[in-house]
């Protein structure tokens, strides 16, 4: 199969996935609505009152909860009581029936009430902390630098429900800009997520005819945050109440309708003044905008376009032939395109002249296309009048081509002087002569009785109509001249060069001399979490600081409120694109999340990276790899864990035990996860993604061998050891007469050994120790860890996560690091950070985490089996020799990899791939 066919298959697959994303989105919306309804029901008084009845119902059925038989519940309650006491049972009960917490709190003493308040305050603090991080993203201000975004995209945020406006101001603008080499994207202003997403990658933005509703205000503010200077565009004088009040049709509106129209005018005016620059369709309109306070206003007129020219090319020969044959025809057709009944007042200014002409010449016929209320006096000539309902644009032009004379009467007010001359263009391109009111746009193009006629008074309207009606040759001559004039002045190319190019210029092709890397990781600052994120951030920052190298990042952020889609911000001078993902509705979305693909492809298109480097991409979806393949962008995967091999990221079974498979057997996996009926498809997708990678990186040799054992090409996978930040401070001498200080950095993560650590310390009968637990998720908005129910002899405390500045202080405040991970870690950054700072390490073995630990010399091994008694024995041994830590120094810390060395090695891999791609391109 050749590359062309492969790309077609990939593109088809991609399109199918996008359609599935829409279906999934609809399903998610329905689920969200039901969740809201269920939440309301559970908050209702009837739900609270019937709680005892529901509990009794479970017991009568022999069950406490729907899925747990009573005998299992009794066994579990006994385990909880032995482990955590009566308070543990209370906490579990509160978790299952939250409403009982309110009941108990009302019956409890002040102590319990105070505890509840403290917990609530902690949750509020955590939420505020998470909100602060989102605000750092959403409020990150970019400078007004035109060169920041190199992608030549112009975004048009438009009112799309008015067909004529959309055609002449939106689609035509897109055609003009595309002729100048720009990419153009048109979005409906109501589609907030799409609009905000495309704002992140565009170079210019035009707001066309949009009101200052809250979502539009947010769009304009976002454009300015991104350093854009937004344009406002309109083609009617809809921003001025006084000008509206002059219009004749206002007399026929109710007070409520007038108030609504004036309200709209205020909204449009507010949007206009919120923008920095404006585009008008006529000079008169531009003058009004300038007088309102806009400093920069450009005129880009309505013109001919590809669609109009296509239709006219088909109709014009027939129209010319009709003009010739009409010399021998008695009937002469006058056509008036009204559109809506707001044109009643416009028609009135010419109505008496038109009626007089109809009475004078019985061969005249008046065709009215659209809505119009004729004065009752026209009943005298009703047999000469034909009403035609509103038509599509092409059908309208077809009717126009069958007529002999086009008319365009307009009231003599500023509102109409600001209008464009569309009716004249449409008639002229068909060779049809026009009679128009002398409004500014008509006067600018019409030379009276040469390429059209101007009529102001009723007598002039009668005279000009009869003049054309009685002389077919003159109609033909004027129509032909009008045709040549509009083609010469309003052709697409003419308007593009004369009016659009001076405003927007030609799109400049981007010549990328730097090595461009796109780093992809599920977390990124300010939402930093986990060792893989630390590696991704450190490597991105260090390599970005290298000359002639540019790094950008694609990541996720928490979903709060309505989805905003893509968002661009800066972290240490690196451009970061983040997306907010909806909660998964199916477990397979962890690797098959098609919600990500549109935003990722937008970033690929905007940034045009030489290489994409994938780190941890759980929940982001393998479709990103397919996107790289279809665009022929080489990519690297750093295999931070076993996610690419096992549905359980760390190969830990449901019983908490490590799975000791070396070569993955899906039959074993299926027995472990009988509910996961997608494991075969998952493995196929993972293998395809891995095999198509240009390079695979493993943090350790142990981890590399695991992948080689699972059919990964040995030459494709290299070791790139994770580097460690060197301490900035000297380790202080251990304080005298202090208990031995243990540290655990993984909070309540079961996979990292949190449960066996808790059990081990609860079983100690001595008090000469203290344990510091890093509450690792508190910054992510999770509830704080509660250690008040441990009931231990020593001292247990939680501390917040440390940053780079606080890393030395944390490790210098402990003597022993606990790292009893329950899986073969790919590396274990924390282990190396401790070893580098002369901290003894108790860690599980085998695995990447223990490669730098020498049992009995700078640490101790425990097995991966989660044996509590084994861990207790090791802790007891360490406590018994606590005095050695007064002067302890790790003799092998010089062997720990550095961040500098890791970055240099990684950069060399990047450069090799870029060079190979350049050579391949040159050959092809």
User: In percent, how much of the chain has pLDDT > 70?
Assistant: 85
How is residue 359 written in tokens? 């009475």
Q: Cβ distance 524 to 535 under 8 Å?
A: no
Within 546-673, strands assigned E span 549-557, 566-571, 574-580, 611-614, 635-638
Half-sphere exposure of 272 (CA within 13 A, CB side): 30
d(CA 237, CA 217): 21
Average pLDDT over residues 737-748: 93
Which region, left, alpha or beta, applies to residue 471 given φ > 0 means left and ψ of -120 to 50 means alpha? Answer: beta
Residue 283, classified by CB atoms within 10 Å of its CB into exposed (0-12), middle (13-18) or buried (19+), is middle
SS (H, E, C) 135-175: HHHHCCCCCCCCCCCCCCEEEEEECCCCHHHHHHHHHHHHH
pLDDT at 16 over 60: no
Query: pLDDT tens digit string along 618-634?
Result: 999 999 999 999 999 99
Check residues 817 and 749 and name the one with the higher pLDDT: 817
d(CA 623, CA 606): 18
Is there a cis peptide before residue 526, judged by omega within 30 degrees of 0? yes
Half-sphere exposure of 616 (CA within 13 A, CB side): 23
Which region, left, alpha or beta, applies to residue 515 given φ > 0 means left and ψ of -120 to 50 means alpha? Answer: beta
Average pLDDT over residues 749-770: 93
Query: pLDDT tens digit string along 233-274?
Result: 999 999 988 888 888 877 778 888 878 888 888 999 999 999
In the sheet that holds 795-799, the strands lie side by side as 795-799, 769-774, 740-744, 816-819, 840-844, 859-862
Q: Which of 142-146, 651-655, 915-919 has the lowest mean pLDDT?
A: 142-146
Check residues 208 and 26 and name the one with the higher pLDDT: 208
pLDDT at 87 over 80: no
Query: pLDDT tens digit string along 464-473?
Result: 999 999 999 9
Average pLDDT over residues 564-571: 93
pLDDT at 874 over 90: yes
pLDDT of residue 6: 63
Q: Cβ distance 487 to 481 under 8 Å?
A: no
Confidence tier at 91 by pLDDT (50, 70, 90)? low
pLDDT at 752 over 60: yes
Phi, psi of 565 (to 5 degrees): 80, -140
How is residue 438 written in tokens? 């002398």
According to DSSP, the β-strands at 566-571 and 574-580 are antiparallel
Q: Which of 133-147, 374-388, 593-607, 689-703 has the lowest mean pLDDT?
A: 133-147
Most confident among 748-752, 759-763, 802-806 (mean pLDDT): 759-763
Check residues 470 and 658 and name the one with the higher pLDDT: 470
Average pLDDT over residues 809-837: 92
Partners of 428 in the beta sheet?
Answer: none
Confidence tier at 35 by pLDDT (50, 70, 90)? confident
d(CA 653, CA 124): 35
Q: Cβ distance 788 to 813 under 8 Å?
A: no
DSSP H or E segment with residue 522: none
- Taking the mean position of all CA atoms in its chain, how far away is CA 712? 34
Confidence tier at 674 by pLDDT (50, 70, 90)? confident
pLDDT at 429 over 70: yes
> 579-598 burial string, b = 16+ CB within 10 Å, else e?
bbbbeeeeebbbbbbbbbbb
How is residue 208 written in tokens? 């066309």
pLDDT at 309 over 80: yes
pLDDT of residue 823: 81
Average pLDDT over residues 300-322: 85
Check residues 103 and 603 and name the one with the higher pLDDT: 603
pLDDT of residue 866: 81
pLDDT at 1 over 60: no
pLDDT of residue 394: 94
Which region, left, alpha or beta, applies to residue 619 given φ > 0 means left and ψ of -120 to 50 means alpha? Answer: left
Average pLDDT over residues 514-531: 92
Query: pLDDT tens digit string along 347-371?
Result: 999 999 999 999 999 999 999 999 8
DSSP H or E segment with residue 518: strand 515-520
- Taking the mean position of all CA atoms in its chain, how far away is CA 529? 21
pLDDT of residue 644: 94
Phi, psi of 208 (to 5 degrees): -105, 115
Per-chain mean pLDDT for the chain: 86
d(CA 198, CA 434): 43
Task: Quote the radius of gyration of the chain (alpha carbons, Å).
Answer: 37
Phi, psi of 814 (to 5 degrees): -130, 160
Confidence tier at 524 by pLDDT (50, 70, 90)? very high
pLDDT of residue 923: 63
pLDDT of residue 817: 97
Query: pLDDT tens digit string along 430-446?
Result: 999 999 999 999 999 99
Tallying the residues shown for the chain, one arrives at: 924
Task: List Cβ neighbours of 237 (8 Å cut-off, separation of 6 or more).
Answer: 243, 244, 285, 288, 414, 415, 418, 419
Give the other-Cβ count within 10 Å of 711's Cβ: 11
Query: pLDDT tens digit string along 275-302?
Result: 989 999 999 999 999 999 999 999 999 9
d(CA 537, CA 718): 20
d(CA 883, CA 781): 40
Confidence tier at 216 by pLDDT (50, 70, 90)? very high
pLDDT at 172 over 60: yes
């Amino acid at each position: 199969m050749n590359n062309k066919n492969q790309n077609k298959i990939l593109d088809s697959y991609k399109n199918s996935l996008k359609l599935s994303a829409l279906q999934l989105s609809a399903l998610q919306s329905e689920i969200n609505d039901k969740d809201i309804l269920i939440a309301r029901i559970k908050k209702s008084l009837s739900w609270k009152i019937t709680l005892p009845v529901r509990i009794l119902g479970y017991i009568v059925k022999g069950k406490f909860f729907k899925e747990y038989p009573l005998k299992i519940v009794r066994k579990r309650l006994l385990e909880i009581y032995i482990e955590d006491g009566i308070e543990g049972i209370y906490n579990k009960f509160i978790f299952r029936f939250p409403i009982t917490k309110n009941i108990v709190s009302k019956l409890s003493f002040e102590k319990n009430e105070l505890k509840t308040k403290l917990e609530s305050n902690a949750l509020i603090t955590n939420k505020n902390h998470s909100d602060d991080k989102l605000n750092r993203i959403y409020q990150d201000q970019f400078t007004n630098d035109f060169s920041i975004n190199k992608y030549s995209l112009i975004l048009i945020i438009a009112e799309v429900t008015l067909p004529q406006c959309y055609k002449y101001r939106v689609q035509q603008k897109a055609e003009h800009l595309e002729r100048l080499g720009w990419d153009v994207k048109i979005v409906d202003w109501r589609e907030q997520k799409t609009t905000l997403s495309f704002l992140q990658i565009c170079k210019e933005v035009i707001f066309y005819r949009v009101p200052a509703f809250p979502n539009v205000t947010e769009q304009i503010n976002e454009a300015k945050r991104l350093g854009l200077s937004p344009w406002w565009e309109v083609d009617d004088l809809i921003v001025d109440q006084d000008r509206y009040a002059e219009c004749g049709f206002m007399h026929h509106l109710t007070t409520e309708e007038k108030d609504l129209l004036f309200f709209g005018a205020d909204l449009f005016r507010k949007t206009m003044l919120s923008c920095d620059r404006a585009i008008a369709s006529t000079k008169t309109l531009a003058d009004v905008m300038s007088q309102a306070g806009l400093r920069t206003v450009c005129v880009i007129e309505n013109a001919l376009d590809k669609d109009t020219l296509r239709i006219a090319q088909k109709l014009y020969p027939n129209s010319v032939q009709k003009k010739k044959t009409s010399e021998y025809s008695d009937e002469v057709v006058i056509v008036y395109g009204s559109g809506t009944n707001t044109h009643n007042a416009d028609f009135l200014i010419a109505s008496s002249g038109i009626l007089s002409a109809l009475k004078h010449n019985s061969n005249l016929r008046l065709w009215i296309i659209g809505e119009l209320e004729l004065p009752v006096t026209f009943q005298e000539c009703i047999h000469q009048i034909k009403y035609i309902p509103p038509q599509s644009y092409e059908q309208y032009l077809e009717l126009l081509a069958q007529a002999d004379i086009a008319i365009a009467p307009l009231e003599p007010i500023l509102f109409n002087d600001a209008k464009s001359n569309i009716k004249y263009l449409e008639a002229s391109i068909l060779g049809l002569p026009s009679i128009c009111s002398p409004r500014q746009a008509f006067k600018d193009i019409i030379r009276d009785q040469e390429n059209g006629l101007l009529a102001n008074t009723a007598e002039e309207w009668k005279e000009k109509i009869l003049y054309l009606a009685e002389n077919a040759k003159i109609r033909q001559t004027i129509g032909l001249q009008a045709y040549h004039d509009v083609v010469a002045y309003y052709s697409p190319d003419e308007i593009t060069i004369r009016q659009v190019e001076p405003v927007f210029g030609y799109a400049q092709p981007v010549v990328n001399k730097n090595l461009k890397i796109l780093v992809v990781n599920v977390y990124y600052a300010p939402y930093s979490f986990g060792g893989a994120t630390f590696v991704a951030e450190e490597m991105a920052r260090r390599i970005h600081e290298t000359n002639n190298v540019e790094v950008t990042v694609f990541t996720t952020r928490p979903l709060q409120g309505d989805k905003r889609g893509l968002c661009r911000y800066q972290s240490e001078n690196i451009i970061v694109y983040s997306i907010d993902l909806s909660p998964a509705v199916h477990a397979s979305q962890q690797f098959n999340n098609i919600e990500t693909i549109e935003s990722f492809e937008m970033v690929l298109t905007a940034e045009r990276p030489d290489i994409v480097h994938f780190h941890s991409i759980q929940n982001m979806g393998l479709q990103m790899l397919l996107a790289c393949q279809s665009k022929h962008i080489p990519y690297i995967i750093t295999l931070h864990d076993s996610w690419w091999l096992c549905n359980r990221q760390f190969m830990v079974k449901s019983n908490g035990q490590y799975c000791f498979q070396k070569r993955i057997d899906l039959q074993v996996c299926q027995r472990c996860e009988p509910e996961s009926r997608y494991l075969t498809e998952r493995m196929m997708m993972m293998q395809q993604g891995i095999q198509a990678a240009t390079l695979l990186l493993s943090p350790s040799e142990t981890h590399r061998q695991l992948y080689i054992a699972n059919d990964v090409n040995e030459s494709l996978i290299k070791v790139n050891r994770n580097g460690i930040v060197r301490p900035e401070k000297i380790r202080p001498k251990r304080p005298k007469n202090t208990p031995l200080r243990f540290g655990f950095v993984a909070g309540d993560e079961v996979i990292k050994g949190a449960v066996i650590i808790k059990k081990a310390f609860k079983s100690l009968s001595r008090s000469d120790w203290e344990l510091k637990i890093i509450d690792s998720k508190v910054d992510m908005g999770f509830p704080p860890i509660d250690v008040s129910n441990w009931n231990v002899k020593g001292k247990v405390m939680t501390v917040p996560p440390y940053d780079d500045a606080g890393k030395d202080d944390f490790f210098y405040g402990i003597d022993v690091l606990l790292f009893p991970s329950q899986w073969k870690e790919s590396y274990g950054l924390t282990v190396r950070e401790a070893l580098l700072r002369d901290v003894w390490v108790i860690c599980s073995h085998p695995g990447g985490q223990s490669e730098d630990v020498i049992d009995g010399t700078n640490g101790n091994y425990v097995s991966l089996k989660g044996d509590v008694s084994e861990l207790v024995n090791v802790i007891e041994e360490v406590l018994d020799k606590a005095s050695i830590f007064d002067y302890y120094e790790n003799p092998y810390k010089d062997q720990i990899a550095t961040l500098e060395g890791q970055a240099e090695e990684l950069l060399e891999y990047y450069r090799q791939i870029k060079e190979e791609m350049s050579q391949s391109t040159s050959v092809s």
